[in-house]
């Protein structure tokens, strides 16, 4: 018999660190607001107030690198090298960009960022590295035909609010309404997962797959007490002592189960974007795709928020990347929680008829990204997810 996950609530360890994985209180408010022109779409789509066109729409999106920026701060303080912040700039952009992909936006995306810092701990060379990282990532996407446009930003010195820094971004795009991916996910479609780990053709090094979700948990569960003692500005000192940097590793420790990757390299792997893949995919197959889901907040359970009366069956998942095995071993987190917090191997899902699955997989492969059919959809009285992990255990979320 499958194991039924309890109603999603943050684990005591997660909640004690001031984090809500599910953000029920936020959703209770947001879900009551106007849902825009395409209710059920991955991002809210509004009428075109930029040019006033009845055939176009606007999407504005906000997200950021979260507490991953603190990991770059620790690396910077330990080594004196600010280039770890290049990846943080990419994280902040990609968390916006890959959400926008899921409504069909792959071109002419205007970006702005906000950096909130403690100037005493994060001097000008940190800001310089963040700006460099943003510009390098934007240029790399432009070279691949994904037109991102830098619109500037703001650096705020808020030392009494943060001991380190946060890095957030906004993205704005104008689309023809006919180009919008409404996420009207259909029963009888396959789910094609695109891997979060490995090294694709437009990445400079191997990617652990970590993304930018769950880094508060990952940071404290993996890294040892040394960082709390050396850098008290890097965490909330009201957290119970046993939950602050309570792990077995240093940043330079080898990552168990990996080939020559350190824990620091793994948890600082820049969040992979799937923009070049989705751009190529939509150019040919947009009319046949019923949905795109970025497995960010909510991770493998994110799909439950989209479509209606669907049973999502994920019964052929990727092997779990080493970074997630290390987090689970250190934290003793349940499978149920791991799949709600971390992507666990794939971070983008394509919902489409089985007859184009091979083509989707081949397009991903042309960029060096592993892809496979990880499941399917079928009718159900309400949205439900049955997930079988690589060990053969089935967990049901509903």
Judge if 64 and 187 occupy the same domain. Answer: no
Q: What is the pLDDT along the chain (398 residues), one digit of tens a residue?
A: 677 776 544 556 656 656 655 555 555 656 667 879 999 999 999 999 999 999 999 999 999 999 999 999 999 999 999 999 999 999 999 999 999 999 999 999 999 999 999 999 999 999 999 999 999 999 999 999 999 999 989 999 999 999 999 999 999 999 999 999 999 999 999 999 999 999 999 999 999 999 999 999 999 999 999 999 999 999 999 999 999 999 999 999 999 999 999 999 999 999 999 999 999 999 999 999 999 999 999 999 999 999 999 999 999 999 999 999 999 999 999 999 999 999 999 999 999 999 999 999 999 999 999 999 999 999 999 999 999 999 999 999 99
Reading phi first (left if > 0) and then psi (alpha if -120 to 50, else beta), residue 84 is in: alpha
Phi, then psi, of 396 in degrees rounded to 5: -110, 130
Query: DSSP H helical segments within the chain, as ranges?
Result: 12-16, 24-30, 68-79, 84-101, 124-143, 215-222, 226-230, 263-267, 275-285, 322-331, 335-341, 357-366
- pTM, full prediction: 0.93
Judge if 29 and 39 occupy the same domain. Answer: no
- Tokens 């893949």 — which residue? 277
- Domain span at residue 285 reads 1-33+181-216+261-398
Judge if 192 and 79 occupy the same domain. Answer: no
Domain presence at residue 12? yes
Instruction: Give the strand pairing for 109-117 and 165-176.
Output: antiparallel
Domain presence at residue 347? yes
Judge if 388 and 279 occupy the same domain. Answer: yes
Domain presence at residue 240? no
**Mean pLDDT score of the chain:** 93
Cα(113)–Cα(127) distance, rounded to whole angstroms? 12
Cα(164)–Cα(172) distance, rounded to whole angstroms? 28
Judge if 337 and 199 occupy the same domain. Answer: yes
Judge if 351 and 202 occupy the same domain. Answer: yes
Judge if 199 and 320 occupy the same domain. Answer: yes
- What are the tens digits of pLDDT across the range 349-380? 999 999 999 999 999 999 999 999 999 999 99
């Amino acid at each position: 018999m499958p194991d039924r996950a309890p109603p999603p609530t943050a684990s005591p360890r997660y909640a004690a660190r001031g984090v809500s994985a599910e953000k029920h209180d936020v959703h209770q408010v947001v879900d009551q607001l106007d849902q825009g022109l395409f209710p059920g779409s991955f991002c809210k789509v509004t009428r075109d107030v930029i040019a006033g066109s009845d055939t176009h729409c606007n999407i504005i999106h906000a997200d950021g690198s979260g507490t991953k920026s603190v990991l770059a701060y620790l690396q910077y303080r330990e080594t004196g090298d600010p280039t770890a912040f290049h990846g943080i700039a990419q994280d902040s952009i990609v968390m916006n960009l890959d959400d926008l992909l899921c409504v069909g936006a792959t071109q002419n995306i205007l970006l702005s960022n906000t950096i909130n810092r403690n100037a005493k701990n994060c001097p000008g060379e940190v800001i310089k590295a963040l700006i460099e990282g943003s510009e390098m990532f934007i240029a790399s996407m432009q070279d691949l035909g994904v037109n991102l446009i830098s619109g500037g930003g703001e650096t705020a010195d808020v030392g009494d609010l943060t001991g380190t820094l946060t890095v957030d971004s906004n993205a704005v795009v104008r689309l023809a309404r006919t180009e919008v991916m409404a996420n009207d996910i259909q029963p009888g479609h396959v789910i094609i997962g695109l891997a979060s780990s490995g090294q694709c053709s437009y990445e400079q090094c191997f990617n652990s797959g970590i993304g930018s979700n769950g880094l508060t948990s990952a940071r404290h569960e993996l890294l040892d007490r040394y960082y709390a003692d050396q850098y008290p500005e890097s965490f909330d000192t009201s957290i119970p002592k046993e939950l602050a940097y309570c792990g077995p590793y240093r940043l330079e420790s080898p990552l168990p189960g990996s080939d020559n990757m350190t824990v620091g390299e793994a948890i600082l792997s820049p969040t992979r974007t799937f923009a070049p893949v989705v751009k190529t995919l939509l150019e040919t197959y947009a009319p046949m795709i019923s949905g795109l889901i970025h497995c960010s907040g909510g991770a493998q359970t994110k799909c439950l928020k989209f479509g209606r009366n669907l049973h999502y069956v994920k019964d052929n998942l990727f092997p779990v990347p080493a970074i997630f095995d290390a987090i689970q071993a250190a934290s003793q987190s349940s499978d149920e929680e791991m799949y709600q917090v971390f992507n666990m191997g794939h971070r983008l899902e394509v919902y489409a008829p089985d007859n184009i699955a091979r083509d989707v997989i081949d397009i991903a492969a042309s960029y060096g990204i592993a892809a496979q059919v990880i499941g399917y959809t079928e009718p159900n009285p309400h949205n439900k997810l049955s997930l079988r992990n690589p060990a053969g255990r089935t967990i049901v979320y509903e």
